Structure formats: structure tokens, C-alpha cells
Amino acid sequence: MSTIEKAMGKLAKQAQQNQQSNNAAAPDSVMDVNPPNQEPNARPREKAVLQIDSSVLRNLGMLSDVRSRETRMLSDEYRGVKRKLLKNAFDPSLIPRNKSNLIMVTSANPGEGKTFTSINLALSLALEKDKTVLLIDSDVLKPTVSKTLGIGQHMGLMEYLLGETDDIADVIYHTNIPNLRIMPAGMPHHLSNELLASDKMRALTEELNSRYADRVVLFDSPPILGVNETVVLSNFIGQAVVVVEQDKTKLAAIKAAVSQFSEELAIGYVLNKAVHGKTGTYGYGYGYGYGYEEEQSA
């Protein structure tokens, strides 16, 4: 055997040993990709970026990138409301600082437009340059945020409260709209009422406030009357926006609803489905009042 052949054989043997050494180390890296209970060829779950179609917003009469007269009017109305929310949220002299940026959007009764208002407020707040907004669908009895926006079903609030994930980031989704995040309601559960009023829900609100101090968190919450959990949830929140449908919501219902809230809660009102002007134009979100409850006359 020639000297060259001996050298080639030695190199081949060394390469084989290196390959065996690499194979022996491979299981550790594979375990990182495929946990014990995961199928060998499965990939780690990648959280989706939720896509909100501007045409869906436009068809629903919500804030969109269209610069029509109606959109400008709606934008101006919600801009006025959000300015008051932001002032209350970040002026330490107004509301206890530990929960002032946590805002509940609700109504006395179903069907008054609270989800419409929640989404539009979130879209308006997302335009702020130095703030982000998290919209949480906490109406776990009848979740409508995901359905309204057409973003599909995703793991959300219920899964977190049930302990299916311990990381809050797992249920907060980025969207294609800058500065807007969404936490869906998640899958329905027979204990949804109890979970909404649980200590874990309180802990969640505290974590949201401490982790995201510069973020506005909007809770699209169940109606107040007939749902005790909404009143319990309000104890974890700094502000409440009560949506009132013009010519439908009775004054007695509004008083009965807000009387259940804590005196420390800042309560504002948004007049929804109001008719404006001589033309009788019928719109959404037009007209509002905002301030502490004792300063308002319904």
C-alpha cells in the first residue's frame, strides 16, 4: 500500500469517528425541537399574526383607512373619547396608578354596541405614537371580537385562566395594525363565569398593569345587568366606559347598572347609534360623555 493510500485511509477513519461523535450529541438538540410528547416530525407552534382586513372594518362602518366623510366624523368622535381615557390613565392625580390604564367597556344590557365601541376605541388608541393597546375579549359568555374582526379562533383568555399556559405572552397576539394587540376569549367553558371572577383573573390584571405600564388595556366585557361577574371584574379595573344606545336604554337601567360599581371606578358614557343633524343621518359612536360617575347626568 502506498503512502498516499495509507493517508487517505487514516483521513476516512477520522471522518467516520467525527460523524459518530456528532450523532451521539444530536439527541439534546432534537429534544429542544421535539419535546417528549410531540410527534417526531412536528414543528414548534408559531403564534399567528392576526390579519384584520380593512374592508371588513369599512363594511361594518368602523374606523378604517378610508378617508370618507363618515369615517372622519367617527374618527373625531373616538379621538375625543380616547383623549379623556388617556388623561385618566396616565395622570397620576386622577385614578389610582396601579390600574388606571385598565379600561372596561360594557353596557347595561346586551345589543347596545359595546363591542363596536371596544374595537373602535382600540383602533383609535393604536394610532398613538408612544402607546400600544391590548384589546381583550373578556365577554366569555358571548365572545364577539374575533368573530366581528374575522380573525378566526385562537387560544386566549379562557385557556390562560384554566392553566393550559402559564405564559401570558402565549395568548397575546400581534396584528397587522401597528400598536394593536389582541387577546381572544378562547374556547367556551362551562366555568367561564367563575373564571372571570377568579383570583387568577385578578392576578392577570395586575400582571398586565405591571408588565405593560405604558399600554392601554381594553376589556370588552359582558353587560352589567344579570351578570355578577362583570361587577366583580370591575373591581380589578380603573375605568369603565358604559355604552348607552340612544332611544333604547332606559335611565333606570343605567342607574341600576352603575350603582353596582365601586365608588373608586371612573365611569364614562358613550352614546351609541345617535341621530345627527337635519338630514337624520344614522351612525354609530356619535356623541359621548366622560368623567367620574358622580359628575355625569344620564
For the chain, give every domain's residue range.
1-44, 54-295
pLDDT at 40: 38
pLDDT at 287: 37
CATH superfamily of 54-295: P-loop containing nucleotide triphosphate hydrolases (3.40.50.300)
Quote the radius of gyration of the chain (alpha carbons, Å): 26
The answer on pLDDT for 8 being more than 50 is no
CA distances from 148 to 32, 56, 235, 249 (A): 38, 9, 27, 23
Write the pLDDT tens digit of every residue in 218-241: 999 999 988 888 898 999 999 999
Sign of CA dihedral 155, 181, 267, 101: positive
The answer on pLDDT for 156 being more than 90 is yes
Residue 123 or residue 263, greater confidence = 123
**How is residue 92 written as a grid cell?**
397620576
Q: How confident is the model at residue 211 (pLDDT cuts 50, 70, 90)?
A: confident
Percent of the chain with pLDDT over 70: 74
Q: What is the pTM of this model?
A: 0.77
